[in-house]
Amino acid sequence: MSEKKTLENLMAAFAGESQANRKYLAFAKKAEEEGKLNVAKLFRAAAEAETIHAMKELELAGKINSTEENLKAAIAGETYEYEKMYPEFIEVAKQEGEKAAVGAFTLALKAEEVHAKLYKEALDNINSTEEVFYYVCPVCGNIEKFVPEKCSICGVPGEKFIKF
């Protein structure tokens, strides 16, 4: 990608489409809770459409590389989040007395550190053919390689974890 502004626009579009996907999934969950199943389906369909847009924009921006390079990028991103981004967010939230935000940012920080560790482990074992399963805490986003008795970050019972 040689045009700087086009690259900036692709990345801005990617960010916007990615956020729309997550927002629409949250809207779908709320619609389901309210019994509005057709609206929930529409939000889920739109979320998938936004994913299609985001993936194409990321591809055109040249940001999808080899699995090894993608793992390195993921490690860098997760490390930035737990070392710099979330500590700064936590400090601001504390100063502003936003206890719920402090809690959410703290859980995310701890989970991001685990994510970085798992990406490093995957990079170290990139050629392994042994099948691995991952289990995600539905509350804080912690990832484990086994079903824990309870989440090591937020304490949610292990039977609530989602298997991947």
CATH number of the domain bearing residue 144: 2.20.28.10
> In this predicted model, what pLDDT tens digit does every residue of 9-64 receive, in sequence order?
999 999 999 999 999 999 999 999 999 999 999 999 999 999 999 999 999 999 99
- Regarding whether 80 and 109 lie in a shared domain, the answer is yes
Query: For residue 157, which phi and psi values (nearest 5 degrees)?
Result: -60, 140
pLDDT at 1 over 90: no
What is the number of domains present in the chain? 3
Element (H, E) at 38: helix 37-60
- Regarding whether 95 and 40 lie in a shared domain, the answer is no
pTM exceeding 0.85: yes
Domain that holds residue 24: 4-60
Rounded Cα–Cα distance for residues 154 and 69 (Å): 31
Region for residue 155 given its phi and psi (left: phi exceeds 0; alpha: psi -120 to 50; beta: otherwise): left
- Regarding whether 84 and 122 lie in a shared domain, the answer is yes
- Regarding whether 93 and 42 lie in a shared domain, the answer is no
